[in-house]
Structure 1
Amino acid sequence: MSDVSGTHEGEQRGAWGVLGILTSINLLNYIDRFVFPAVSESIKRSTLAPTDTQIGLGSTAFLAVYLLAAPFFGAVGDRANRMRWVAGGIFLWSAATALGGLARTMPELIGARSLVGIGEAAYSAIGPAILADYFSEKSRGRAFAIFFAAAPVGAALGYGIGGFVDAHWGWREAFYVTGAPGLVVGWFLLHLRAPMKSAMTPGRSANPFSSYRFLLRNTQYRLTVLGYAAYTFAVGGIAAWMPVFVQRAHGVSSAVANSQLAIMLVVTGIVGSLGGGWIGDRLLRKNREAYLWLSAITTLGAAPLAFIAFTTANTTVYLVTLFAAELLIFTCTAPINSKLIDMVPPGMRAAAMALCICTIHLLGDVPSPTLIGWISDTSSIQQGVLVIPAAAVVSGAIWMLAAWRGGRLSNAQVVEA
């Protein structure tokens, strides 16, 4: 259900402050998530000596636990004490990140990365639901654009900080450095005497089980999430393997590869996310399925550009086409998440995000890093990454179908509780 009319009181009182806090936390979220791929090549050369399949399993283990924990946090995320769950999640994922630096075997490192998934699941399910309560539909796309711009910027910082610390002190120290700030933030939020309070839309939260049943019956929600799963398959492959691909295919050092990717992520992430949120909100005035149409078109446009980037031997062509592909990919970040929030009642927002998280990772970036690693072991990393543009085509096609069907759905089916 979308709150088309009216504006939340919180949009004038404290909304932007809440947005700033949640965006800053989201930045830490992605820094800790992406430090692992930044140092993967150094881990491979260390005494742990993992195969590419085991490195891929490190990303897969994190995501498997992340998706399994999400439904629980979706159930509690539409109720009271949400900021305490967020604070606990921050503390857990940050402590687990630092523990990764103490690993003496690959199973220990995989176990630490799995714990990171529990903490991040709490924030990813609850954070957007809190934010949605502060912004009306007409401005939510722009608010989400700022919030989700922290994802590529945080990923870039994860690559950049991880690569820099790895080059100067080692991969273990990279985990210590990136995990420490979240421990401070988590402790601070847990000890607040007056926890930050949400401007929740009035009304009783739905039973979590009935919420999930409603979501599974919603045709447009199902299609939107399935398209998001294919999108996540592609993005997960890029996130886990781009530093390794650049080093092997173009013969650059770990520091250079991570620096290039960090700069590219910052620019494309900020421009794409903010631009997508602004364009989506503008188009929404003319077409209620604008978020889906915009996401479908930009994702389909990114696929051929990614294919060229992964098959060219020319480094300049690779950089230009990958930059363009990532710009288009990030354009749909705010619109697609805004669409997921808008199509459900306020009391189901955390549940909607949680079920989405579970599905997109189960079908998306849980299998993709390991699949690409397996193809790399049996063939080459250049062959492995070719599954990425194929997944982008599938994503764009499903979102286009969801947009087309959305125009035919009755309002009763969209807003039924």
Structure 2
Amino acid sequence: MTYTQADFATRAKALDEADPLRDYPGRFLGSDDPEIVAYLDGNSLGRPTRATAERIAAFVTEAWGGRLIRGWDEQWFDLPVTIGDRIGATVLGAAPGQTTIGDSTTVLLYKIARGALALRPGRTEIVLDRDNFPTDRYLLESIARELGLTLRWIEPEFTGGVTARELAEAVSERTALVVLSHVAYRSGYLLDAPALRAVAHDVGALLLLDLCHSAGAVELELDSWAVDFAVGCTYKYLNGGPGAPAFAYVRAEHLADFTQPIWGWMGRESPFEMAQGYVPAQGIRRVISGTPAIIGMLPIQDTLDLIEEAGMAAVRAKSVALTGFALDLVAHWLAPLGVEVSSPADPARRGGHVTIDHPRFKEITARLWQRGVIPDFRPPQGIRIGLSPLSTTYAEVLAGVAAIRDELAAR
């Protein structure tokens, strides 16, 4: 059956009107900007909330400008762990005392991976996959070189991700650590985390998940899944802003013996004593190193407010519906023009974005940006359509995919 633009426009309008989260896009800045036709890159950088603009302004004049250095005693010192606990409870499925926030994703990934490896002395291999995000791959290459370890690579399907069967073929009694992205950054493939954890644990290895494309888009249950460690960023679906600090999760059973390699004063027991010698703080605070980026933590609280209000189940349902609508549009409008889908059709295996491929997408992405349609390009020839459930409408998805169709058809 052939669907016209009017048919899909009617459907998008009906979906937006029936959407339980229909009031949320208006709570983000830029939602009414006439120059932005469709923002389809919320999986790279989320929009700021309107509440964040007010919070940051008030912080500068009242907390920073008014309280000055006294702010450390009154609130700031504990902010990494208090926000960490909120992230854990709201989006990670983690009990208090296991999550903290601070540093970049790269730095936290290094700290957590090194600390995890120290818990498995005598083991010589790290397992990871070729399609993991470049930072993850580069960082583990550097750690392997630093410690004289061997990297064992998994090569998943281009349109998928690592399966339990593939992992089982790669791990052994030599495996110390398995590092995987819970949602693949390119294909959007959603791992079966409990199954992969079981495979890793069966050989005595530890599992570290990268949650950058998961937190705030898919439901997570780190505690019940018995995941050992996790790291993720906050500037995507958590709308923390450019370079917002990342979070780290260390399962409670590992905390007493966990030691990370970047020792700093804020991670020391009784840091304000300024004593000689490093003694790690109790609990998750031992993951912290230096003075945390307080201003960078502020926006995350506003998105956590929204997610707590809406509920992660509703956020995930909207994510599935948005990506499903996008795939319907692609099938009817773009597939006849030679576009291929590189993301799972099964919503149970699909994260919050879809990737489509065509040889001309690199040049087309630049033209889309000029006309106010903003996806991102991922080599070798993919446009990634990232749909942030709280801030994206079905009308935006329609406008964005229609613009891709028009650019392809015009050339």
The reply to whether TM is greater than 0.5 is no
Greater fraction helix: 1
For normalisation by structure 2, the TM-score amounts to 0.28
Bigger radius of gyration: 2
For normalisation by structure 1, the TM-score amounts to 0.27
Structure number with the bigger relative contact order (C-alpha 8 A, sep ≥ 6) is 1
